[in-house]
Amino acid sequence: MRRGGLVVLVLPSVLYLVVMFVYPFGYGVFLSLHPAKGASGASLANYLGFFGDPWQLRTIAVTASIAVPNTIVTVLLALAVAYAMRRGIWAERAITTLLVLPIALGTVLVAEGINGFYGPKGWLNQLLQLAGVADLPRLTHNYTGVMIALFVQHFPFCFLMLLGYISGIDPALESSARVLGARPWVVFRRVMWPLIAPGAAIAFALVFVMNFGVFPSAVLVGQPAGATRTIAIAAYQQAFEHYDMSMASAIAVVMGLCQLLGLAVVVALRGRLAATGVATVGAGKR
Amino acid sequence: MIDRLRFKLSKHFGAKNVLDDFALEVHGGEFVTFLGPSGCGKSTALNLLAGLLQPTAGEIWLDDERLDPLPPERRGFGMVFQNYALFPHLSVFDNVAFGLDVRRVARASIAERVRRMLALVKLEGLEARYPAQLSGGQQQRVAIARALVIEPRVLLLDEPLSNLDAKLRLDMRAEIKRLHQGLGLTSIYVTHDQAEALSLSDRIVVMREGRVMQVGAPADIHDRPRNLFVADFVGYRNVLTLMVTARGVDGLVTAEGSGLRVRGRAEIGPGGAVLAAVRPEDVRLSDDAGAVGGARGMVRLVEYQGREYDVEVVLDSGAVLKARVPAAPKIGDAVGLALEPGRVVLLTPEHVA
Amino acid sequence: MRGRVWRLVVFVFIVGFTLNLVGIVSHVAVSSLARRWFATPLPGAFTTEWYAYAWHEFQLPQVLTVTATVAASVTALALLLGFPAAYVLARRGFRAKNAVLLLYFLPLLIPQMTYGIPLATSLYRYRIGGTVAGVILANLVPMLPLAIFVLLPFVEQISESLEWAARVHGAGRWQVFRRVVLPLALPGLLTAGLLVLVNTVANFELTFLLSGAGSQTLVVALYYAVFAAGMRPIYSVDAMAVIYMGIVLLILVAALRFVRPTQMVFRLGGK
Ligand SMILES: Nc1ncnc2c1ncn2[C@@H]1O[C@H](COP(=O)(O)OP(=O)(O)O)[C@@H](O)[C@H]1O
Ligand SMILES: [Mg+2]
């Protein structure tokens, strides 16, 4: 059988992504360097404009103040729970199935649900009132609301990802460490963590990148004109409210660079990340 | 039946030379075995013949037809794979019918031929089962039936018995021999198991790292290995370095060392060094430590092997000999050793490779 | 002892999180059935009239038609382009393989808002933006790689020796595909199809950026309804949300017959 011939079968999909993904990206970068008004040549005016305007520049700080703490909390909790569940728990299938719900339903529905459930007249506040809490907290249409929405969305994502990863580690490794006299904490620290760390690093990177691109939650459960005006909102407004595609592209590029920076930090913290590819669905026992 | 299959094949994977001018002529009706350790290129050779790989260089001729440009489906071969490769989504019947189906043989004829073949491999009544519902031995039979039903010009078998347990392996070995002879097949069989090769074959090709080490009838290979590799592979587990002391007019040389004296055929004069390859079953032990042509030694290990015992003896010279004997000595016993005359293979240094 | 406490804490957390999920989802459902609901545990009176109201007011027949068209087209195209690619990736090594894998991986890694804006800009320039076709083409960007990565392990587990056996015993390339590869890959195609389907129905950002007046999918229509809360009774918005939820759940239940929940997210593969 001629072995080379088959490889052409990847071409349609590769071509598609080149035209619909790589090209627009390049076009976006090009566009961002050619401001709608003003000079005809390439210029950094858009970028200078963005970084010179406190109202725009602030979006980076706002987005980071949401993305960084949220990612840390999400990954740490997901890691702890997934590790505790590594050998299965009661009603596991039911629990994991329920956890898929927010992933499948998507941000918009979760946002609407949070507005109801966590809202001023929602069940949670009613419960708190019943419990005698006098000063009811405000949980929606502000920073807290966005944090809740992102956590509800990304905790299951991160947890399922890590559960799949951790359950793929040969249980015999842990058993043999125990037999050799290691206590549970020592087993985690010396045997399991080194194996889990690359997966945890990738999970961290993915969650951070998603958090940094937050859009619908920031609009629907946040305060899109103030406390939760994230960089994605700024880009959207430039594109579809001011019709300045050039500036919008510049903001999208800045957003991409911030996400890249997050990835770079993770990679720097874990040199071994490179040794671990992100594969796909399929393997693992759960 | 075909008249003969001739080929000469080379295969490189990148810089790696897996087969190097591997050439042979197989006669119609013959049962030929490729024998060699794992990784020596046996499967590669078989896959080249089947057309599943393209040779780097070489040709395959079947009678007057050149086969190597043909895709696998046009060569008219049958093949039994090591893991059987039964189609998991097809029933036993459909698995066996596959080759006829893709050749668009008429339905009625397919049913009739498949049934006949299933009867031949003793699988009547299992037509509707799926591979997952069969035992290893049954799967094996389906794989054989699937390869045979198309009346292949050559049957290729790649370690077909290696996934079976020991007893079943013996049964299936006999079965394969029976089918080969009964149907007048031309078969090429691949194995790393010398016992299988010796019992099944008309001819054995011993391979090492993509090259032919020796071609011959089973008795040839067994009794007259041409080099140390073949000797080691077919069970000559003792190798002693001896010195030639005399050479007769008949060409027979006498070699001595470690207190042993042996006679055999070797192209070397007195004073040269030879290697003596000896099977454990050709080493005899005696209490009589002074036997002629024998040596003395001390037993250091005894392993029970069923009917017999494997014994390791340290000779006075420090060399170690493995023997297979009917009665167990005790560890630490002083014993005399003798070698079965005429069963020792003498190899000169150029035969080492 | 410490282990027990630790497990208890984890269990309580899980239960809490699950309850919060149930609360979020059922609050929407209850609200959609409320005649009026204000700061009480349950509404005083129930009604189903908001569904009829939402059906007309939000032009759901048209929105659902668009959603179905987009989801079906994206699924079909993703499988059609993705299966050959997954097959080659599973079977062959080639020089550019890592580059190709990276190309497939990036649209899944990079958030849609980041590449959606340049993509939308390009598509609007060629007047494809705002149309149903534009929504389909844009959604295919992340869904094609998704299909490929879901299919990959399914193809990998079809032993190549099955194809060889078929070839040796007389099947040509096409016959091998039709009689061996395709039937054995069917579970994978089904799984990938369902996952792409549910993800397309629920995919917000790209659809949002690319859809115009007549090309909104259900989730985008829901976004606008929530965004403009106050224009229409919240109960009717929640009725639309429940309809959306019902559709997603239906596909999800079908998908979960074939995949484990952990397969619904990226799989991290170690060495
Ligand atoms: N596709 C391949 N690419 C590179 N090397 C290969 C390939 N297939 C086989 N080899 C190498 O060729 C040698 C012979 O393999 P094989 O024919 O399978 O051996 P055998 O069947 O005798 O065990 C091995 O060293 C193996 O590693
Ligand atoms: Mg082999």
Mark whether C40 and C78 lie in a shared domain: no
Subunits in contact with chain C (3 or more CB pairs closer than 8 Å): A, B
pLDDT at A278: 41
Distance CA C185, CA A260 (A): 36
Across the interface, do C150 and A80 touch by the CB < 8 Å criterion? Answer: no
- What pLDDT is recorded for position B271? 86
Number of folded domains that form chain C = 2
The pLDDT of residue A279 is above 50: no
* pLDDT above 90 (res A109): yes
Q: Is any Cβ of chain C less than 8 angstroms from the Cβ of A160?
A: yes
Residues in chain A within 8 Å Cβ distance of B51: 1
Average pLDDT over residues A135-145: 91
Report pLDDT digits (tens) over C203-260. 999 999 999 989 999 999 999 999 988 888 999 999 999 999 999 999 998 888 887 7
Q: What is the pLDDT of residue B353?
A: 55
Q: What pLDDT was estimated at residue C5?
A: 86
Chains touching B by CB (3 or more pairs below 8 Å) = A, C
**Within a domain: C59:** yes
- The confidence band for A271, taking pLDDT boundaries of 50, 70 and 90, is low
Predicted local confidence at residue A39, as pLDDT = 62
Asked whether residue C269 is domain-assigned, the answer is no
| Same-domain status, C219 and C111 | yes
- Residue A160 clears pLDDT 60, i.e. is over it: yes
- What confidence score (pLDDT) does residue C215 get? 93
Q: Do C26 and C77 fall into the same domain?
A: no
The C-alpha of A3 sits at a distance from chain B's nearest C-alpha, in angstroms, of: 9
Q: Is the pLDDT of residue B152 over 70?
A: yes
**Structural domain includes residue C122:** yes
Using the predicted structure, report yes or no on whether residue A156 has a pLDDT greater than 60: yes
pLDDT at B291: 53
Nearest to C84 by CA among A282, A7, B89: A7
Of B11, B16, B18, best ligand 1 pocket probe by most atoms within 8 Å of the beta carbon: B18
pLDDT at A169: 87
Distance CA A58, CA B100 (A): 73
Q: Are residues C173 and C96 in the same domain?
A: yes
Q: Which residue has the higher pLDDT, A272 or B23?
A: B23
Pocket test for ligand 1, best of B12, B44, B192 (most atoms within 8 A of CB): B44
A79 in contact with C at a CB cutoff of 8 Å? no
Where is pLDDT greater, at B289 or A14?
A: A14
Contacts 24+ apart (CB under 8 A), C193-196: C193/C75, C193/C79, C193/C147, C194/C251, C194/C254, C194/C255, C194/C258, C194/C259, C195/C146, C195/C147, C195/C150, C195/C255, C195/C259, C195/C264, C196/C74, C196/C75, C196/C78, C196/C79, C196/C143, C196/C146, C196/C147, C196/C150
pLDDT given for residue C24 in this prediction: 94
C125 has pLDDT over 80: yes
Q: Is the pLDDT of residue A281 over 60?
A: no
**pLDDT at res. A198:** 86
Reading the block at residue C1, the tokens are: 């002892």
- Per-residue pLDDT tens over the stretch A168-193: 888 888 888 888 888 888 888 888 98
Q: Which residues of A touch B70 (CB under 8 A)?
A: none
Residues C196 and C105 placed together within one structural domain of the fold: yes
Is C270 within the bounds of a domain?
no
Q: Would you say residue C271 lies in a domain? A: no
| Domain harbouring C260, CATH code | 1.10.3720.10
- Residue-wise pLDDT for B48-92, tens only, equals 999 999 999 999 999 999 999 999 999 999 999 999 999 999 999
Q: State the pLDDT at residue A170.
A: 86
Q: Quick one: C144 and C250 in the same domain?
A: yes
pTM, entire model: 0.85
C219 and C138 fall within a common domain: yes
Are residue C194 and residue C72 in the same domain, yes or no? yes
CB C105: neighbour CB atoms within 10 A? 17
Using the Cβ of A2 and the Cβ atoms of chain B, whether some distance falls under 8 Å is answered with yes
Q: Measured from the CB, is residue B13 less than 6 Å from ligand 1? A: yes
Beta strands B187-191; B154-158: pairing state: parallel
pLDDT digits (tens, 9 = 90+) for B283-323: 988 876 555 557 888 999 999 988 899 999 998 888 899 99
pLDDT at residue C163, as a whole number: 96
Q: What is the pLDDT of residues B107-138, one digit of tens each?
A: 999 999 999 999 999 999 999 999 999 999 99
Residues C39 and C87 in one domain: no
pLDDT tens by residue, C161-212? 999 999 999 999 999 999 999 999 999 999 899 999 999 999 999 999 999 9
Question: Are C118 and C138 in the same domain?
Answer: yes
Ligand of minimum distance to the alpha carbon of B18: 1
Q: Whose CA is nearest to atom 16 of ligand 1?
A: B41
| Antiparallel, parallel or unpaired: β B31-35 and B187-191 | parallel
Quick one: average pLDDT of B348-352? 71
Instruction: Give the pLDDT confidence score for residue A135 in this predicted structure.
Output: 86
Rounded Cα distance, B90 and B93, in Å: 8
- On whether residue C35 sits in a domain, the answer given is yes
Residue span of the structural domain in which C1 resides: 1-47
- Give the chain B residue nearest C178 (alpha carbons): B102
DSSP state of C130: B
- What was the pLDDT predicted at C269? 47
Alpha carbon of residue C105 to chain centroid: 17
CB contacts of C180 in chain B (<8 Å) are 87
Would the pLDDT of B179 be above 60? yes
At residue A201, does pLDDT exceed 50? Answer: yes
Q: Are residues C88 and C122 in the same domain?
A: yes
Instruction: Compute the CA torsion angle A173, A178, A181, A182 (nearest 10 deg).
Output: 80
Angstrom distance (rounded) from CA B8 to CA B19: 10
How far does the centroid of ligand 1 lie from the alpha carbon of residue B193, in Å? 18
Same domain? For C66 and C26 the reply is no
pLDDT reported for residue A274 = 41
